[in-house]
Amino acid sequence: MSYIAEVKVGKHTYLYECTAYRDKNGKAKSTRITVGKIDPKTGDRIYKPEYIERMREAGTPVHIPPAAKLYSAQDIKHSRLREYGLFYLLRGISQKVGLLEALQESLPEYWQEVFMLGALDINNNS
């Protein structure tokens, strides 16, 4: 028998599918698999697409709030947010190693454009 358990870890609450069973010696055991999390703003359950598909194939529909948008790994891989994250990371590293300061001193009028071109080139080659 399976059930969904809510487990708070730090700031987040995760959803686990827990399944109880008995091993070959008759001892009670259980397994749990992460199937989603609770949206902290709305309190809605956000399930992983794999879990929703598995439940659909098993004939057990999962209630999804109408406003919930599901994102696949491909969506995230090609998102603008990912590009911004890479730029933010590169900017932080460049600032720590002194690259931004060197660019500002050597190219005071165009240092931002030069840095952006370098960051875009790295992003396009990754």
Round to whole Å and give the CA distance between 50 and 56.
10
- Answer yes or no: pTM beyond 0.95: no
Instruction: Give the model's pLDDT for residue 66.
Output: 62
Q: What angle do CA 101, 103, 109 make, to 5 degrees?
A: 115
Phi then psi for 35, rounded to 5 degrees? -120, 0
- Sequential pLDDT tens for the chain (126 residues): 688 889 998 888 999 999 888 889 989 988 998 888 988 888 888 888 888 888 888 887 776 666 556 666 666 666 555 556 667 778 888 888 998 899 889 988 888 888 877 766 665 555
The length of the chain in residues reads: 126
Distance between first and last Cα of the chain: 45
